[in-house]
Structure 1
Amino acid sequence: MTELQSALLLRRQLAELEKNSVKAFLQSLLIGPPDTLYEGGVFKAHLTFPKDSPLRPPKMKFITEIWHPNVDKNGDVCISILHEPGEDKDGYEKPEERWLPRHTVETIVISGISMLADPSGDSPANADAAKEWRKDTNVEFKRKVAHCVRKSQETALE
């Protein structure tokens, strides 16, 4: 696939996303899903697509501060759908759970929202957040998430 074809495909996917209007995605914003610790949060995220998209996955990075087991301290997101296609050398993921060219901007955004609703501690990007999240009384984790949610609301319009 040429660079021009990749750009045209991405442009078509973005137009489709706007038409279908994914509820929790608005111009690079992910809204914390209801009934989760992230509810009400307004988290800015960037998707960066490689030149050989859709053969390789994009990168997702939160610009807004977020405390989450699957987001490293720099904001980089670590979820299966964004991992390079093929076999997982560590055996955590099946090939069909990883990046596939049929994925769209919409499936990436939905995976990001799902990540907020259901963190995974199996192979965390933020070991400290995962450790706090796993504790029976994860008070410190909840406190840090609540701080991030409040801060995201305050800076949403910047």
Structure 2
Amino acid sequence: MSTSATSNSSLLLRRQLLELTKKPVEGFSAGLVDDTNILEWEVIIMGPPDTLYEGGILKTRLTFPPEFPLMPPKMKFITPMWHPNIYPDGTLCISILHDPGEDQYGYEDAGERWLPVHTVESILVSVISLLSSERPNLDSPANVDAAKEVRENWEGYKKKVRRLVRRSAEEAWD
């Protein structure tokens, strides 16, 4: 990876961070984990109103590759989550964060996957949308146990999510 490509991604990320700082988008705040590393962001997502996540303060990490924006960042929830589209380790699984090109499994069109025009804001809007959806997408679950619970015990699933959300809000104030 050339230094100019890395400095281009740094420049682009600094511009996006500045934009989010000047004009915050409702529902989340973003900052650097460490001021010396533009490739590692901490993003706090406020649980969207009228959803199972309402009142939650969900911590995530966005890790950008040096090839950004040609390749997508990885996003991982630090806050424990229970969702079919979030791996048990917290890694988020949504189309917009999948490498560009055709999906080898045929679940997604290339247009649903990462495109260099995506920004941190468009990623976070997708995450808010995922958390706001009435029922999680169960087509290709990242967390099979959560997907199984959604299918077989919706009330139990909702109770578990609400418990985690409550804990996230309490821990944010500790």
Assess same fold via TM > 0.5: yes
Instruction: Name 1:150's counterpart in structure 2.
Output: 166
Instruction: Name 1:131's counterpart in structure 2.
Output: 148
Name the CA distance, whole Å, in 1 between partners of 2:8 and 2:88. 34
| Deviation (angstroms), 1:40 | 0.9
| Deviation (angstroms), 1:22 | 0.9
Q: TM-score, normalised by structure 2?
A: 0.86
Q: TM-score, normalised by structure 1?
A: 0.95
Name the CA distance, whole Å, in 2 between partners of 1:134 and 1:55. 36
Name the CA distance, whole Å, in 1 between partners of 2:29 and 2:172. 11
Q: What pairs with 1:48-63 in structure 2 (closer than 5 Å)?
A: 48-63=63-78
Q: Deviations over 1:114-156 (max 9, x none)?
A: 1111221111110111111123x51110111011111100111
Name the CA distance, whole Å, in 2 between partners of 1:15 and 1:30. 18
Point out 4+ residue stretches in structure 1 off by more than 6 angstroms.
none
**One-letter identity of the residue aligned with 2:150:** W
Matched residues, percent identical? 57
Instruction: Name 1:90's counterpart in structure 2.
Output: 105
Instruction: Name 1:19's counterpart in structure 2.
Output: 22
What are structure 2's unaligned runs of at least 5 residues? 31-42
**One-letter identity of the residue aligned with 2:118:** H
How many residues are treated as equivalent by the alignment? 157
